[in-house]
Every structure is written in structure tokens, then in C-alpha cells.
Amino acid sequence: MKAQIRISDHFTYGRLLRFTRPCIVMMIVTSVYSIVDGFFISNFVGKEAFAGANLVWPVLMAFSSFGYMIGTGGSALVAKTMGEGEQDRANQIFTMLVGVLVMVGCIAASIGFVLMPSIVKLLGATPALMNHSITYGRIVLLSGPFFMLQAAYQSLLVTAEKAKMGLAMSVTAGVMNIVMDFLLVYCFPMGIAGAALATAVSQLVGGLVPTIYFFLPNHSRLKLVRFRMDWRNLAKACGNGSSEMLSTLSSSLVGMLYNLQLLRLAGEDGVAAYGVIMYVSFIFVAIFFGYAVGTGPVVGFHYGARNWEEIRSLLKKSLVITGCFALVMTTAAQLGARPLAHLYVGYDPALAQLTARGMSLYCTAFLLSGFNIFSSAFFTGLNNGLVSALISGLRTLVLQILSIFLLPMVLGVNGIWLALALAEAGTLLFSLTMLAVHRKTYHY
């Protein structure tokens, strides 16, 4: 039996892959929620319900953004504090972050539930999509606080050196989602409401079980203890993780803009096609994000301990690993475009053709996106939230919005599918510049 890998260890290529593997799988499994919902909704409820769920999904992801911010930024801060040898203070910071997530999650979910009809209307929902979007959105928001906690624990469990536990929880929640989708959509046809309820219950499990674990006596590096509000460290955690929140919020906003442009250029079929492409993207990008989430606390710990040689080694090895991932995933996405399109919308040949064509163009971005995602996470681990936020903001918001509106003027619908690739190319130039500018500051 191999010894447990700790964030304080020296990392070879093999150790890096072993240490980040649970995070990668955890992110992939988490992505399964919407993917499974989409499969059952599309094939057993209809393409209008499928488009309705896809229309509101970016809004639901926006609600999780605070959880990702606290999880990644808080993990970097907690790991740095542990690296400085202050374990008790690390536990207090960790507990405060969990408490803030519960409070903010309850408030945000309540507001979203009330405003959902207005939100869906602003998204440009047609009469055929309106009720589907409202129903799906409101039911999923019932688990809003747990959705935030689950997002945060993806990073915090790594810092606690319990990544395998996080993986087990994600797999359990994912399997539960699949089983409940089968029961509530196929066996007992509750329609889109059944799919939403399956997702809500799965998120509840993913957020509640780790909280109970940390509350009880345990053998991890972190535990829930008595705490006082520490606004200074809360601000630090938010600052460190602002790039991840910005990334999620930006992705949500950009998803809404994609849908608006596609409704204008390709109608409801365009929204449905984009939904399938997003499902494929969730899986592939989850690999990049999982690796970034797994390495972030390691960078944070060694930064706190001033182990500059290890930080240099982590950067070099991570760029090589990311490059290998990028080549494999881009090839797989291109080969799988047509089969995946037929899996979801094969009942409509025209929609399947539109989806396959869009997927082939959209997935060219995978060659570049991993480097930008890792660069952002690397600076988060170094507690440099500003640079991390700038990288995320460029790739997920500024450059992508410009591409969404400008490329279709020249290339039509194909311009929408290529918008991400253009945004990633521009961001990569900025990421490389930031890595060069800060190499002496962080001694890598």
C-alpha cells in the first residue's frame, strides 16, 4: 500500500498525478449532474424542456460562484497558515469560511427563488421555454447552500488531505443523481421537475456529509471549531479566490450571451445544441480544473514555507502535464463530436448536425484553455488574487464577450462556436507575460 501523499511533500510527475487524480475525478463527477439531467430531459421530456433547462443553468452556476471563491481562496489561505505552523488559526479560519458559506447560500437561494420568473424573462426565454426554465431553476435552488458548500469542499478537502473522501462523496452524489433521474424522469415521469429534484438532492448530499465529518472528531488536518468573525482573513480568502468567482460568474454571463445570440441566429435549436456542447465541455474542462484545484493548496503550502525550489518544480511539471492533457482531450473531443451529438439529440437529424459541427469548432479551445486555468490557479496558490483574477477575467469575460459579438458578424453561427478559442489565445499571451514578469518575485 502506497504511503499517503501530503501537501508538504516533494512532488515528482507520478506523485502530482496521484495527488491530483481524486480532484480531477471529483470535478468530472460533479459535472455529471447537469449532463445526466440533460440526457434524461432531452430524450424523455423533449427538446423544449432541454432548451429550457440549458437556458437557466448558467444562472444556477452563478449562485455556486461564491462557493468556488471561498473554497479556492480559503484553501490557499488555510494551506499558507498551516505552512507557517499555525494549525489552530487554520482551523478557525476554515470554520469561519464554512459558516459564511451557509449564511450567504441561504440568502442567495431565497432571493433567486423569488426572482426566478423575472430572471428567466431577462434571459430571453420564449413562451415555450418559460415554464420549463422557472420550474428547473426554482427546484435546484432549494439546495442552494449545499451547492455552495459542495463547490467549496472540492478545494478544502484537498487542503485537509482528504481528497479521496471528496472523491467518494462526489461519486456517491453523482450515482444518486443518475438513479433519481432514472426513477423520477423515466420510471415515474415527473418531467423536468423530477430531473431538477434529482440534482437538488445530490447537491444536498455533497454539501452536508463533509460538513458533518468535519464537525465530528476526525483524523484530517482540519476540523470545525469555535470561531469569531475575522473580517481581515475573510477579505483575504475572497481576494485570493476572486479569480475563481469571477471565472464562474463570467462563464454564467457568457453562457447567457451565447444563448441570446443563438436564439437570434439559430432559434431554440441553437440553445439545445449549445447545451450539448456545454456538457462535453464540462467533462473536458473539469480535468483542467481538477488538476488546478489539486495543485493550488500544494503551491500555497510551499509558498507559506518559502520552499522556492519546490514551487519552481511544480510550475515546470504542471505545464508539461497540462500540455499532454490538452493534446489528448482535443483529439478525443474531435473524434467524439458526432457520436455525442447523436447520443443527446439523434432524434432530430438537423439538430444533431448543427450540434456536431458546433462541437468540432468549439473544442479547438481545449488546446489552450488548460494553460490559462492552471496559471490562474497557480497565482491563487501564491496568494496573488489580482493576477489570478485578471487571467480569469480575460478568458471568461472580456475577450469572450468581444468574440461572441464580433465573430458572428463575419462567420455567422460558426463565429459563436469559435469565440472561446479566440479568447483563450489572447489570454494565453497574457498568462505567459505574467509568469515571466513575476518569476523573480516568487523565485521560480
pLDDT of residue 34: 66
pLDDT of residue 234: 94
pLDDT of residue 33: 64
pLDDT of residue 114: 96
SS3 letters for the chain?
A: CCCCCCCCCCCCHHHHHHHHHHHHHHHHHHHHHHHHHHHHHHHHCCHHHHHHHHHHHHHHHHHHHHHHHHHHHHHHHHHHHHHCCCHHHHHHHHHHHHHHHHHHHHHHHHHHHHHHHHHHHHCCCCHHHHHHHHHHHHHHHCCHHHHHHHHHHHHHHHHCCCHHHHHHHHHHHHHHHHHHHHHHHHHCCCCHHHHHHHHHHHHHHHHHHHHHHHHCCCCCCCCCCCCCCCHHHHHHHHHHCHHHHHHHHHHHHHHHHHHHHHHHHHHHHHHHHHHHHHHHHHHHHHHHHHHHHHHHHHHHHHHHCCCHHHHHHHHHHHHHHHHHHHHHHHHHHHHHHHHHHHHHHCCCHHHHHHHHHHHHHHHHHHHHHHHHHHHHHHHHHCCCHHHHHHHHHHHHHHHHHHHHHHHHHHHCHHHHHCHHHHHHHHHHHHHHHHHHHCCCCCCC
pLDDT of residue 239: 84
pLDDT of residue 407: 95
Segments making up each domain of the chain, as ranges: 20-437
Mean pLDDT by 10 residues, the chain (444 residues): 74 92 82 78 91 88 86 88 89 95 94 95 88 95 92 87 83 88 94 94 91 90 89 89 75 87 91 90 90 88 90 96 96 94 92 96 96 94 88 89 94 95 97 95 89
